[in-house]
Amino acid sequence: MEILRFYFKPTILTRHLLKSFLGPFIIGELFFSFVILLFNMRVAIQAILEKNVDIILLVKLSLFSMGWTLGMTVPMSALLAIIMTIGALNADQEIIVMRASGIHYFRIFRPYLMFGALIASGMLWYQMNAVPYCMRMVNVVISKIANYNPTALIEPGQFTLLDENALMSRNIYVESISIDAENQKMILKGIQIRKVERINGINIMTELVYAKKGEKVIKVLSNKEQVKALRLYDGFVFVDNEKKGSFEKLDFSKNGFMDINMRDNFTHMESNSNKSIIEVGMGELLQLINKLEKSGNTQDTYFKKLKVELYKRTSLPFATIIFIISGFPLGIVNRRSGKGVGFGQAIIIIFIYFSFFLSADALATQKTFMTPFVAAWFGNILLFLFGIILYTIKTTDLMWKIKLNKKEY
């Protein structure tokens, strides 16, 4: 009945506590989403804003990126909100007034705990179903951006992936890039293109192209299909001759040129079954785990990574509850410290937690004493113990100093 009353007819105190919490929670969500979104999309944003890639791709990338980062930002926002909310209530003497009125700390804490449980249950479904799809689509859109314009992601003085598949990859290097204002063209100078093929499990460079100059062009094929290409001038090609065991040189340094076609055909990427583990849907993930369990490959590294991914999808939603448990006593402590200290404490806890969370794969595969479950839940367990101990110390009516040292009251 208490839970039903909380959801359908909350008391004045509950409404007041949650109202104080929702503002910082929303602000924290916007802040953390913006930071993570900007960090993950910095290269794509540069390509779209500076190099004429379709703005629709930026919109899609933003939506799908926010989709998969939501699982991380919600626990972060909950931690920041609980520390700052309780700290503000404490600084305004509201906690003291509540305690003087006979309201126990757990009564103050209970609405936040129930809010965390409600959010965690929703995020559990979201993490298992929506996040893999969003992550998959992020990689698809990034691939579209890279192929939409063959020069879109190229930066002078560094190698950039031009295209790749399961059997080969091509990387491009340019010394400088200039703009032909009259013809509105981007001119590349000092170009190297290296083609690497995977032969018998070994990566071997099979082609090296060098050109003094290059530009993007639109070619019309015999079937009237338009194809984007990178046209190279004044250069040569070294091609691996497997029969002779040496490279052959093809020269186009005088009057010729060489085209590298770039087709805007992305349908295969969205249906490509060669997904990373984080992109695999929940049903498919469970099928892969069951298949390896039946075959007896439970000590295989790939099997451990699958199990870690499964447990990570359950541990991250529950981090919302654990962050609230850890943040509440920290807010009690911050009576006069100000919001800046609360923000700093939240950042430290977030850093510690996600250091363990992001290292779960390595911990499970390289440390024999850690099972996939322990590796994925280690940060949760550590912060839960920290939160329970700190909550017990800071919210009990008889402080541990009194119990152990029998000193001042």
CA distance 332 to 327: 9
How is 238-252 classified by DSSP, letter by letter?
Answer: EEEETTTTEEEEEEE
Q: Are 265 and 192 members of one domain?
A: yes
Of 25, 79, 21, whose CA–CA distance to 328 is shortest?
79
Q: Could you tell me the two tokens for 15?
A: 């409404």
What is the average per-residue pLDDT within 170-184?
Answer: 82
Does the structure show a pLDDT above 80 at 289? yes
Q: Are 141 and 228 members of one domain?
A: no
Asked if residue 154 is part of any domain, the answer here is no
Asked if residue 336 is part of any domain, the answer here is yes
Asked if residue 153 is part of any domain, the answer here is no
Name the H helices within 218-371.
Answer: 267-270, 282-295, 301-333, 339-358, 360-366
Average pLDDT, the chain: 79
pLDDT on residue 400: 44
Asked if residue 108 is part of any domain, the answer here is yes
Q: Are 135 and 192 members of one domain?
A: no
- Residue where the block lists tokens 């995977």: 198
Instruction: Domain of residue 95: give its range.
Output: 12-145+279-405
Does the structure show a pLDDT above 60 at 264? no
Q: Are 140 and 286 members of one domain?
A: yes
Q: Are 124 and 207 members of one domain?
A: no
Q: Are 183 and 84 members of one domain?
A: no
Q: Which strands make up the sheet holding 168-180, listed edge to edge?
A: 159-164, 168-180, 185-199, 202-220, 226-241, 246-262
Of 311, 315, 279, 322, whose CA–CA distance to 76 is shortest?
322
Asked if residue 93 is part of any domain, the answer here is yes
User: In a 3-state reduction of DSSP, which class is residue 183?
Assistant: coil
25-53 pLDDT, tens digit each:
999 899 988 888 877 777 666 666 655 66
Percentage with pLDDT > 90 across the chain: 13
Name the domain count of the chain: 2
Q: Are 115 and 62 members of one domain?
A: yes
Residue type, 19: K
84-97 pLDDT, tens digit each:
888 888 888 888 88
What is the average per-residue pLDDT within 349-372?
Answer: 83
Sign of torsion, CA 375 377 380 382? negative
Question: Among 209, 240, 269, where does a domain finish?
Answer: 269
Q: Are 101 and 185 members of one domain?
A: no
Question: Among 247, 269, 291, where does a domain finish?
Answer: 269
Question: Among 269, 291, 308, where does a domain finish?
Answer: 269
Q: Are 138 and 179 members of one domain?
A: no
Pair 315, 334: CB distance under 8 Å: no
Asked if residue 292 is part of any domain, the answer here is yes
Q: Are 217 and 320 members of one domain?
A: no
For the entire predicted model, the pTM comes to 0.68
Asked if residue 122 is part of any domain, the answer here is yes
What is the average per-residue pLDDT within 355-374?
Answer: 82
The residues, ordered by sequence, that sit 6+ positions from 321 with a Cβ below 8 Å of its Cβ are: 113, 116, 117, 120
Q: Are 257 and 285 members of one domain?
A: no
Residue type, 65: S
Asked if residue 5 is part of any domain, the answer here is no
Q: Are 115 and 34 members of one domain?
A: yes
pLDDT on residue 271: 44
